[in-house]
Amino acid sequence: ILSNRPIQLVEVKARGRYGAVWKALHKKDTVAVKIFPPQDKNSWLVEQDIYQLPHMQHDNILSFIGAEKHASVIEGAKNEYWLITAYHEYGSLCDYLKSNILTWDQLCHIAQSMTSGLMHLHEEIPSERSDQYKPAIAHRDFKSNNVLLKYDLTACIADFGLALVFQPGKSCGDTHGQVGTRRYMAPEVLEGAINFSRDAFLRIDMYACGLVLWELATRCTAQQGAIPDYKLPFEEEVGQHPSLEDMQECVVHKKLRPAFKDSWKSHPGLIALCDTMEECWDHDAEARLSASCVMERITWQCRQYDGTALPSLAQ
C-alpha cells in the first residue's frame, strides 16, 4: 500500500453534496483536498477513474494530483476518502460572480475556456494505441459551482462524481436519469424522459451550459446602466430552494427560461450571446448546440465585438 502524502489541511473552502473541499498544504505547495464521507466512496471512485483516463490533463479541466484513503479523525467513524487536486484561490465561478463584475473581455475569456473544457470532456479521442483512447464523458452536474477559476480567470471544470463515461460497445451502466442539481436540469431530465444514449446525455450538459452563460451575462459591464446583484438561474421564478415540482412547472410546463435584460440590447456581443444561450437551452434536446459549436461561436463573437458597445446599435 502506498503511504499517503504529507498533507496539512488548512481551512474548509466549500461544502458540497459530497463532503467538504479544503485548502491544504503538500510540502510547500497549496492544493485542494475534497474529502468524501464513507457513504460517498462510490463518487470518489468515479471521480478518480475519470481524472485518470487518457487525455484528461487539459488546461480547462481541474488538475488531478492523487486519491487517498484516510482513517477518519472522528472517533469510531470509518475511513474517509480524499481527492487531491490543484487549488484555485478564486474558487467557483458562482462564488466569483457573487462578489465581482466582468468586463466583456473577461466574460469572453471565461466563456471560451469553460466551453473548451466541456468540448474536451464530450469529445471522443481515438488512438493509435488502445491505452490512449479517450471516451466521451457527460458531466451530468454542470453548473457555475462546478466551474473553477484560475488566477487569470481561465475556467476549468471540476466535480465528476456523477459523470458518465461512454466506452464503445458497453452500456453506460446502472444509470439513474434524474441526477444533478434541480435548477440546472434540462426539461427531459425533469420529466424523467431521457433517451439513454450518449448524445442525449451530452445535450443535457449543453442545456446547463446555456444557463451558466446567462449567469456570466448578468454580471457583465458591457450592458448599459447599473449591474444587478448576482442571482442564480431561475431564482426570480422559483426562489433559492426549488422543489422538483417547482422546476417541472417552470421549465417543462410553462417552458420558461431565465429572462434577458433590456440593458443587454446595447451591446452586439451580448445580443449574439443571447442567441447562443437560446440554442443551448432549446426545449427540443436535438436542436441544442454542441460544445464545440458553442466554443466556436463564442470565439468568433469575442473577436467580432470588443468591449465597447457600437453606438449605432444602442437603444
Using CA atoms, how far apart are residues 117 and 157, in angstroms rounded to an integer?
6
Among all residues, which ones are annotated catalytic? Answer: 141
* Rounded Cα gap, residues 219 and 209, in angstroms: 16
